[in-house]
Amino acid sequence: MNMFDEARSLLGMMDMRRISQAEAARMLGVSQSYVANKLRLLKLDKSIADKISASALTERHARTLLRLNDKDKQMEALDIIIERSLTVAEAEALIDLLREAEAPRTLGSAPALKQLDAFITRLDDSVKALNSKGLKTVKSTSYYGKKMYITICIEEN
């Protein structure tokens, strides 16, 4: 049973018994926020949910997509998350960028965004190449305000 099946089952139980999230949480021995977070998954479009399940992404990845209100933006973000195998933290950072309406102005222009994306892609490729040569290399991305920090860690053998 995947996360979406669990959410549908939980909703069905609540409907059948006519109980609140808090009552369902008590019955199941979980927190009310656990129940609420499960049920939030049902707000995702079926095509998005199916793609998440097929890609074996986590529930946290799925909930991160809910921060985007537009289905097309959710699908765009999901495609990037899958293509680049983003961690939850990286997916959250991506969503932050997509939500930032002023991103092109902040970075100078839309071409600057394309250059940034190409740069990050080259970094990802370089990290993969180093790993394939036996150098344990990890790239992490974090955001503070409107600044992006990229860290590359290479472990010595």
Cα gap 92→95, rounded to integer Å: 5
> Which structural domain range is residue 2 located in?
1-43
User: Is the entire prediction scored with pTM above 0.85?
Assistant: no
Domain boundary among 99, 114, 132: 99
Model confidence at 14: pLDDT above 80 = yes
Cβ atoms of residues 104 and 110 within 8 Å: yes
Q: Which has more confidence, 115 or 24?
A: 24
Residues 95 and 73 in one domain: yes
Number of domains in the chain: 3
Model confidence at 104: pLDDT above 50 = no
Model confidence at 108: pLDDT above 60 = no
